[in-house]
């Protein structure tokens, strides 16, 4: 069982109600008393519990206190949050628990040490079977990851249609769960089945050692079953993606190349993202697919309170999604939430102390589009790909939807939304002719 950071006492709803309303009174002194009561505290219901967002209120107040270096308030708020937080409670208690951990690390300058401890503990319990089961279970209950897989596969199939030798460079950490459906599609093509070379670029050495050998065997077995000529390669130890070349990836002249980046670019240091995008263009691909979370931890990274607000917004959506997707007693859900704790600590308490390959500096679709447009042009998804995504979303609970690009929109591509909030952005790009000419000079 996980223990609290300071003390261990049961949640006191009356305590948090009074403290939250004290904060509201301080922030809105002119507000009328009846306006400060949430519906959950109305006389009809008679139960003086906190409002629906008590965790967010306390966490924001604590982040502000840390920014202002108000040690008395920091100590009081950390104690208050610790009284109420639990990794086994409701959404508010879980958010309080994991963000309290990051705020405590920020206040005590122990973020890097905490992150290393969390990473070490996670790696000790990680195996191929446990990782695979977790990923497949998540894909079963939520389209958070499968949305990008389906959209990217549709774009790749269209861009490489008619080619006889395909080479996909996969820069992601998805354990190749994306590719069986693409192999099935290749096996049922009307023309001759093409040869597929899949090169997986891995920046985490532990992932290579414990997982990729098993992944390779399963992929090769499935390709044989589908009757697709197949070659599987792993490029490991590439901590700097910008150093990848045609030679290191063994790209041949006769191969039609696609580069697939799912959640990979956010792990690149912000200052090096332009170099990595130029590297992608230098591979002369037919298409590059990009899938990223719709959040901005980049423009706010030098302002702790603003970065905290965006981080809290994003993970509140994520935790609410998990709450509706998994049973409350689900072990898989707990593991996913613990993984989130590492990310939250990285974003809020490590201050760029972690090198490339392990970052979490997310950017929104319009920010990525601005970077990509220097070297690439948008590759719109065709109707078949869009229909595949729509069919995918019908398999899940109500609340998920697809947003297509609008005219004059800054970011091309499509968005997955949860409760009308965009959470994942998927797009496809082809090299611009001018940028290719500039590269060749």
- Write out pLDDT tens, residues 364-405: 999 999 999 999 999 999 999 999 999 999 999 999 999 998
What's the confidence (pLDDT) of residue 11? Answer: 42
Q: Read off the pTM.
A: 0.86
Same domain for 154 and 233, yes or no, is yes
C-alpha torsion sign, points 182, 184, 187, 189: negative
The pLDDT-based confidence of 129 (bands split at 50, 70, 90) is confident
User: 375 is in which domain, residue-wise?
Assistant: 145-295+362-431
Candidates 383, 318, 324, 363; CA nearest to 154 is 383
Of 286, 317, 351, the position where a domain reaches its end is 351
Same domain for 65 and 82, yes or no, is yes
Same domain for 182 and 284, yes or no, is yes
Same domain for 268 and 382, yes or no, is yes
Is the residue at 83 inside a domain?
A: yes
Is the residue at 436 inside a domain?
A: no
The pLDDT-based confidence of 416 (bands split at 50, 70, 90) is very high
Of 312, 328, 351, the position where a domain reaches its end is 351
The pLDDT-based confidence of 49 (bands split at 50, 70, 90) is very low
Candidates 156, 147, 152; CA nearest to 422 is 147
Same domain for 188 and 245, yes or no, is yes
Condensed to tens digits (0 to 9), the pLDDT of residues 276-292 reads: 999 999 999 999 999 99
CATH number of the domain where residue 370 is located: 3.40.50.150
CA distance linking residue 253 with residue 249, whole number of Å: 12
The pLDDT-based confidence of 354 (bands split at 50, 70, 90) is low
Same domain for 247 and 336, yes or no, is no
Contact criterion met (CB below 8 Å) for 9 and 83: yes
| Whole-Å CA distances, 168 to 180, 378, 413, 426, 429 | 13, 19, 20, 17, 14
Is the residue at 7 inside a domain?
A: no
The pLDDT-based confidence of 229 (bands split at 50, 70, 90) is very high
CA distance linking residue 316 with residue 98, whole number of Å: 11
Residue 250 makes CB contacts below 8 A (sequence gap 6+) with 199, 233
Is the residue at 439 inside a domain?
A: no
DSSP annotation string for 329-371: T-HHHHHHHHHHHHHHHHHHHSTT-S-TTS------HHHHHHH
Same domain for 276 and 194, yes or no, is yes
Rounded mean pLDDT of the chain? 85
Same domain for 251 and 375, yes or no, is yes
Is the residue at 68 inside a domain?
A: yes
3-state helix, strand, coil in the chain (%, to 5): 50, 15, 35
Of 287, 322, 351, the position where a domain reaches its end is 351
Is the residue at 18 inside a domain?
A: no
Number of domain units in the chain: 2
Same domain for 173 and 98, yes or no, is no
Is the residue at 24 inside a domain?
A: no
Rounded average pLDDT over 123-132 = 80
The pLDDT-based confidence of 37 (bands split at 50, 70, 90) is very low
Residue 233's CB: how many other CB atoms inside 10 A? 15
Same domain for 150 and 259, yes or no, is yes
Is the residue at 267 inside a domain?
A: yes
The pLDDT-based confidence of 44 (bands split at 50, 70, 90) is very low
Same domain for 172 and 272, yes or no, is yes
Q: Reduced to 3 states, what is the DSSP secondary structure of residue 259?
A: strand
C-alpha torsion sign, points 266, 268, 274, 277: negative
Same domain for 290 and 398, yes or no, is yes
């Amino acid at each position: 069982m996980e223990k609290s950071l300071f003390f261990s006492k049961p949640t006191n709803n009356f305590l948090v109600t009074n403290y939250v309303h004290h904060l509201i009174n301080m922030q809105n002194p002119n507000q009328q008393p009846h306006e400060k009561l949430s519906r959950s505290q109305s006389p009809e219901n008679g139960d003086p519990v906190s409002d629906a967002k008590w965790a967010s209120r306390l966490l924001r107040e604590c982040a502000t206190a840390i920014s202002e270096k108000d040690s008395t308030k920091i100590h009081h708020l950390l104690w208050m949050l610790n009284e109420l937080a639990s990794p086994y409670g409701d959404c508010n208690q879980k958010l309080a628990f994991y963000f309290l951990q990051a705020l405590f690390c920020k206040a005590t300058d122990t973020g890097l040490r905490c992150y290393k401890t969390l990473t070490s503990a996670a790696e000790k319990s990680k195996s191929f079977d446990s990782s695979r089961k977790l990923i497949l279970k998540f894909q079963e209950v939520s389209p958070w990851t499968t949305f990008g897989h389906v959209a990217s596969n549709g774009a790749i199939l269209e861009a490489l249609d008619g080619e006889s030798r395909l080479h996909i460079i996969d820069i992601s950490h998805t354990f190749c769960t994306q590719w069986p459906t693409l192999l099935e599609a290749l096996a049922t093509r009307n023309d001759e089945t093409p040869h597929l070379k899949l090169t997986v670029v891995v920046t985490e050495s532990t992932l290579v050692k414990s997982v990729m050998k098993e992944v390779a065997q399963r992929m090769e077995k499935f390709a044989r079953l589908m009757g697709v000529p197949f070659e599987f390669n792993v490029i490991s130890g590439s901590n700097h993606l910008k150093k990848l070349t045609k030679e290191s990836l063994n790209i041949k002249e006769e191969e039609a190349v696609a580069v697939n980046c799912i959640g990979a670019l956010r792990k690149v240091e912000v200052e090096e993202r332009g170099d990595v995008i130029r590297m992608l263009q230098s591979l002369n691909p037919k298409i590059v697919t990009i899938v990223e979370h719709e959040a901005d931890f980049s423009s706010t990274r030098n302002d702790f309170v603003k970065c905290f607000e965006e981080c809290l917004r994003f993970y509140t959506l994520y935790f609410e999604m998990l709450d509706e997707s998994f049973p409350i007693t689900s072990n898989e859900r707990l593991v996913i939430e613990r993984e989130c704790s590492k990310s939250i600590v990285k974003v809020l308490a490590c201050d760029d102390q972690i090198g490339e390959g392990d970052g979490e500096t997310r950017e929104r679709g319009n920010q990525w589009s601005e970077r990509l447009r220097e070297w690439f042009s948008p590759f719109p998804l065709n109707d078949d790909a869009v229909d595949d995504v729509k069919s995918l979303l019908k398999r899940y609970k109500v609340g998920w939807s697809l947003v297509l690009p609008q005219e004059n929109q800054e970011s091309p591509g499509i968005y997955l939304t949860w409760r009308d909030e965009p959470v994942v952005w998927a797009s496809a790009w082809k090299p611009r002719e001018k940028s290719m000419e500039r590269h060749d000079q």
